Structure formats: structure tokens, C-alpha cells
Amino acid sequence: MRNKRNATIAAIVGVIVCIGGGYLLLRGMTNAEIFPLNTLNPRGRQSQEIHDLAVPVFIVAGIVFIIIEVGLIWLFARFRRHSDDEDGVDEPVQQHGKTPLEIGWTIVPALILAVLAVFNVQTILELDDASSDALTVTVEGQQWWWQYQYDTNSDGKTDIITATQMVIPAGRDVKLRIQSNDVIHSFWIPALNGKKDAVPGHTQDLVMTANEPGIYEGQCTEFCGLSHGVMRMQVKALSAPDYEEWIERMTTAPEQPETELAKAGQALFVGQCARCHQINGITPESEPNSDGLYEYADEPLEDYGIEVGSTLTNKTAPNLTHLMLRDTFAANLLDLYQDVPTPVVENEGEPNINNLKRWLRNPEDVKPMDPDNNQGMPNLGLSEEQIDQLVAFLITLK
Ligand code: CUA
């Protein structure tokens, strides 16, 4: 009698702990501000489809889990050994071979899994659907940042190249063609879709559709070396008119610098940085015009070393043409503005000069890299004066 009562109490406590703990865990994890990389907070069509599958599957699995756990706890408590038991007393009757029972516990799980498989396959097929007006963006993983190439008018030519922050139109399907320039990475924006590996020599497609304008965080999820853990990315979804304005701005050359400091920075950029970093139109061989300024091109041109549609093996650093139209840099580790990112074309806050200087003083202080092996940016040993010039120039790139 005492055994049965204690067993029941133990089973009830077990159920309360399971349900309560599970509830608190899920409640905490759906807080997007604390956990931006959260698959339980879908903000896109595909992530919603995954969520709509995962929740019922979780409930079915949870019910099975609770039945099994409660049964186990009840059995442990009911048939546990007591200190005053004599040897051999209270041992349950041993049984062998209950055919109906064995058939039952084989068929029931098989049926449950078969039903779940139907919905699984259906969801997998739906995730690949893309409307005919889908925007195509070529995503390329590099050690340790992400590059995005756009063919906005679908003529087979790249007209926008950017990095770190991918800008997309909200409400429209975006077909990502995911590639890698070196090792295997994995592209993952949990609020919008699942993960997809970026494999060298191979292109993998992933469709994502953001429901609303917003900022969506991501993280490389395949170990890719030194800075894998800080290889972040960000999606900025804009409203349709804002997105059109962004394309217009991105395919128009930035204004030329006006201050003497910024002009000196531009000349320094051509001499020091243009070997790796592209600003459309500028090469290390560029000559200044009669005003002492270097001419930018309106869009990336093959003449400037960018091979359309191929991996940019000769260009191992982010294209900086419209740097200040991004909100973050250095693999999304540093803010470019003092204001937090918002889904507008241009952040209206003050540029974060300190972050830019910190990066130029010693990039490896921010992101571990191995520049001797062409992985990341070397410390160029710039003077404070040179850093001031470069920063004054970089913030003109809008
Ligand atoms: Cu790229 Cu991990």
C-alpha cells in the first residue's frame, strides 16, 4: 500500500517537473532580444513552415516522452527495494514472450513515424518553392565573412557586390545560391530558414522570404577554422520602395571626398588597401584626376578584377564601395554606426569612428585571423594620422 502511494506521488512530481521545465525553457528561448539566433521565433515563410511542422512533432514526442517517463518513475518507486525487505521478498513475477504486446509496441511507433514522415516530406518540398519573380543572390562564404552578389535585372551579370549584411526585399522570395571560396561554411539565419552548407566547388540553393522589414541575425554553423565562432552575418529586409532605393544607391558611384583629410585617406586607400579591398573603379594602378581624386565606377566591372558568376579567388577581402550603407562590419562584429541597425536604407546615426579606428589599429584584436596564410586582414602598422585619414575617407562611402 505504502509503495503504491509513494510511487503515485513520485510519478505526479515527475510530470509536473517535465511540463513546467519544458514550458519555462521554451518561454525563455522565444525571447528574440535575449536570443536573436532562435529557431522558435519564425519571421519568414520558410521558418514558419518548419515551425508549423516542429510544434506538432514536438507535442507528439512530448506525449510519448511523458508516458514513458511517468511509467518508468512509477515502476522504479513501486518496485524499489526496501531496507527491511528480506532477500528474494517482493520480487515481481518474471515473464517471457507476450506476443500481442510485442506486436503492439512495434506497430504503434511505426504508425506514428509513418504519419510524421508524410508531413516531413511535404514540408521539405514546400521549402524549395520559389515564385517566378524571386530575387537571386549569390552567397559566398570566406574565412571569415560572407559576400553577396546581386544580379538585380536578371541579365546574368553581377551589378551589386556587398558583404556581411545581406539586403533583401521583405515579402519577396529570395533564392540564395550558396558557395564557398575556401572551406565548408554553413549559412544560417534562424528567423528566416534552416541551415545550408557552403561547399567549395558546389552551389546549393536556399529560398528565404522575410515577412516584414527587419534585421535578422545569423551565424556560420560549420566549423571553418580560427574565427568560425565569430563568423556572423545579418539580413536586412527592406520595404519594396526602400529596396529599390537601395539598389539605386548601390549601383551609383559614391560622392567624392571633400575634406583634405578624407582626400588623403582616399590616396592612402589606393596605395595600401586597394590590393585586397575593392571600391568599384579603383585599382592599385589608378591615377588621380586633375583634382587629385580617384574616379569610381557606377557598378562592379569585370575590368576591375571581378569575374562575374565565378568565385572571387583573387579578391579575398570585402568590397567596400558603399561601406556606410551597411550597419556593421568585420563579420558583423562591430557596428558602423552609434545607432542600432534598423530596416532603412541608410542608418541616420553618427558613424562609429572608434570601431573603425579599433579595426584599423589591429584587426586581429577584434577577429582572430591568420593573414600570413591569406586568411584575414594583416595589421598594416598604420600611424594614428593615417588611421584618421582612412576613417575620414571610409565614412564618405555612402
Ligand atoms: Cu565559416 Cu564556420
- In degrees, rounded to 5, the angle at the alpha carbon of residue 233 between the alpha carbons of residues 176 and 254 is 85
> What is the distance between the alpha carbons of residues 233 and 47, in angstroms, rounded to a whole number?
17
Does the CB atom of residue 222 touch ligand 1 within 6 A? yes
Looking at the predicted structure, is the pLDDT value of residue 50 above 90?
yes
| Three-point CA angle 392, 397, 398, nearest 5° | 125
* Protein residue with its CA nearest to atom 1 in ligand 1: 185
Measured in angstroms, how far is the CA atom of residue 190 from the centroid of ligand 1?
A: 15
Looking at the chain, which residues constitute the CATH 2.60.40.420 domain(s)? Answer: 133-398
Give the distance (Å) from ligand 1 centre to CA of residue 42: 23
* Binding site membership of 231 for ligand 1 (Cβ less than 6 Å): yes
Q: Is the pLDDT of residue 11 over 80?
A: no
Q: Looking up cell 517537473, which residue turns up?
A: 17
pLDDT at position 121, please? 95
Q: What is the pLDDT of residue 309?
A: 37
Q: Which CATH code is given to the segment(s) 2-82+94-127?
A: 1.10.287
pLDDT tens profile 359-385: 999 999 999 988 888 788 888 899 999
Is the CB of 228 within 6 Å of ligand 1? Answer: yes
pLDDT digits (tens, 9 = 90+) for 204-261: 999 999 999 999 999 999 999 999 999 999 999 999 999 999 999 999 999 999 999 9
Nearest ligand 1 atom to alpha carbon 185: 1
Give the separation between CA 392 and CA 342, rounded to whole angstroms: 23
Instruction: Give me the chain's average pLDDT, please.
Output: 87
Q: What is the model's pLDDT at position 1?
A: 56
| Atom number, ligand 1, closest to the C-alpha of residue 228 | 2
Cα–Cα distance measured from residue 376 to residue 94, given in angstroms and rounded to the nearest whole number: 67
pLDDT at 28: 66
Instruction: Band the pLDDT of 39: cuts 50, 70, 90.
Output: confident
CA-nearest of 98, 182, 85, 102 to 140 is: 182
Q: How confident is the model at residue 313 (pLDDT cuts 50, 70, 90)?
A: very low
Q: Is 185 in the pocket of ligand 1 (CB under 6 A)?
A: yes
- Is the distance from the beta carbon of residue 43 to the nearest atom of ligand 1 less than 6 Å? no
Cell numbers standing for residue 329: 562590419
Q: Is the pLDDT of residue 51 over 80?
A: yes
Which atom in ligand 1 lies closest to the alpha carbon of residue 221?
A: 2
282 or 219, which is more confident: 219
How confident is the model over 79-133, as pLDDT tens digits? Answer: 887 777 666 666 667 778 889 989 998 999 999 999 999 999 999 999 988 888 8
Query: In angstroms, what is the span from residue 144 Cα to ligand 1's centroid?
Result: 7
62-74: per-residue pLDDT in tens? 999 999 999 999 9
Q: Is 233 in the pocket of ligand 1 (CB under 6 A)?
A: no
- The 10s digit of each residue's pLDDT in 146-203 is 999 998 877 777 888 999 999 999 999 999 999 998 899 999 999 999 999 999 999 9
Pinpoint the residues of the chain covered by CATH 1.10.287. Answer: 2-82+94-127
Give distance in angstroms: CA of 250 to centre of ligand 1. Answer: 27
List, in order, residues 6 or more apart from 334 with CB less than 8 Å away: 328, 352, 355, 356, 358, 359, 366
- Which atom number of ligand 1 is nearest to the Cα of residue 231? 1
Would the CB of 224 count as within 6 Å of ligand 1? Answer: yes
Ligand 1 centroid distance, CA of 376 (Å): 13
**The whole model's pTM is what?**
0.84
232 lines ligand 1 (CB under 6 A): no
Which range has highest mean pLDDT (30-34, 207-211, 291-295)?
207-211
Q: Which three cell numbers stand for residue 72?
A: 518508468
DSSP string, 265-313: HHHHIIIIITTTS--TT--TT----TTS-PPPPSS--GGGT--TTS--T
For residue 253, give the amino acid letter: A
What are residue 147's DSSP bridge partners?
A: 140, 163
Q: What is the CA radius of gyration of the chain?
A: 28
pLDDT digits 0-9 by tens, 331-353: 999 999 998 888 999 988 999 99
Could you please state the CATH topology (level 3) that the domain comprising 133-398 is classified under: Immunoglobulin-like (2.60.40)
